[in-house]
Structure 1
């Protein structure tokens, strides 16, 4: 139904009036044929066919609405929190929706940073793993007043991105060697090459000819298991990007429970 001040008629009747007018019928003839008074017919002929005007729709309530204030607060305090982590927190608070609703909302309140394009370096299966340590500041429940430093040893397979990681209290040589052995056992094999940041437990320095000097104990371990150690190029942090991502993921996922220095 369409209202134009004088009468309320159906949209189909308006179309008929305009069509009869285009055929050359007079207003009186159209009135007799349609049963609509002449004043109303003249009004529609003057205005033509107008699209109906609709007001703005009232926003529909969504499943994420009761939790938006909490999400804003968490993102403001910890901008790096992952969507998966926040989804778990919402589930604990009664959220019954899905992951997409959370990420859609986060996309609106947390603008993404723009990065330039980079060439992705890939390796064949079994070809390479990357190893590194990351430092975390934590507080243990049995000593809540004493912040402590723990280290995360991580080995990431270059092809599959399989991660083996373990928190340790030290990053000394015995710990490094034990973590290697445990990682090989858990992974079920040994990669042909292992890429290291220039950690002191792996790389002692450079020789007179510019070659890398590795820790002798690490070389003994490498000969025993049959892998080749390789040091990252100096000042090329992105070379070991595959192993840096687990550290970022853990920091984002654990949020306030652990913090980086």
Structure 2
């Protein structure tokens, strides 16, 4: 295609300077027909594609191609026909002799006609969309893949983002509570995709059967729920865009944080700073438009929602309960009992009849055992020989004074010393590590080593009363005087009558 500059020169030569078309062709080195065309158009007209016609070779087979493409609409998107696969089927099954290009062009034309069109939407205040994304980052010095909860207010583009170790029920529930708190209220409605966390089943009439946990969340906060069409992310395009925006702006380069609390502090700061932005086509900042959103939000209800995943299970013979592939300990007195496990984002609670019998920090590993050594001490007192091999105690880090106490007790009392030491450990069920450690050191200084003495010292310290391990503090007790016996005193027994000797010996023969 010739440039506009050449068009100007040729047209001036012919139309202003009155050169002939053939003379202009020789002057500018172009064909005389090209000069004629240049005189007809002020600018290069560009290539004009002729109206597309179907190749005679392909025409008998277009109905077959259309049927294949229609059937593909009901098939998983990753298992639909490519143009190359359609060509193979036409050749193998229908004797087609044409080439790939005409098939590809026809498939492309049909696909273009079938592309969905959309209507621009206007969003009212106090309506939200929710979605979940995933990204990589360095948490606690390790590279991990984490998930993040996003809530978007489409009217103002106000956003909330919070990261979690996993995408599960408890993080989904906790994300809602954190978002409601951040916005200061509850949206009138929230649009979701068909995540299994919220939707247990899609019924035949298009209605959704909610999961128990999602139903409880909705009942507490009373928002209306809406769901997009399956596999149609464009139904909630605003929050889909927020997921991508958050990853590109908040998580590039890869975030580095000591823990998830630190990471979420950075994400929250990013959400707040974004409110000062004025987006394309808007005359107000996000913060200014959010005022209309927040004014229309529903008020937060009284009382807090228990954002946890509940599972009923039974305590094993090892005093363990399993939750999400990990085993957590409970006191041995609850062995073989039915309990309720409540999984939160940061902790796991085991309950019996409404009472919490054990609480652990949430572990996100797999097939790991999370012990509380105190849960096994009562059983260990009955089975003291298991002290050195008890798995719950293997990684229990105690102050050095405990080890010194055990050595002294076992040296003085042998087997009884081991059980006495376990009884001292059981003091940790009721008192703090610092209190017991201080009492052991005090008892070792007084030379009064034993469970009763150590417990007495702890109670005295708590009650701020004097220690009563010295018998001089009990004057009402009878005093005993023990003297030494001289060997000569036994000679008097030789001169005593036989009857008196028997009497002195208590009648023993």
Normalised by the length of structure 2, the TM-score is: 0.26
- TM-score, normalization by structure 1: 0.49
Q: Which has the higher contact order (CA 8 A, sep 6+)?
A: 1
Structure with max Cα Rg: 2
Higher helix fraction (1 or 2): 2
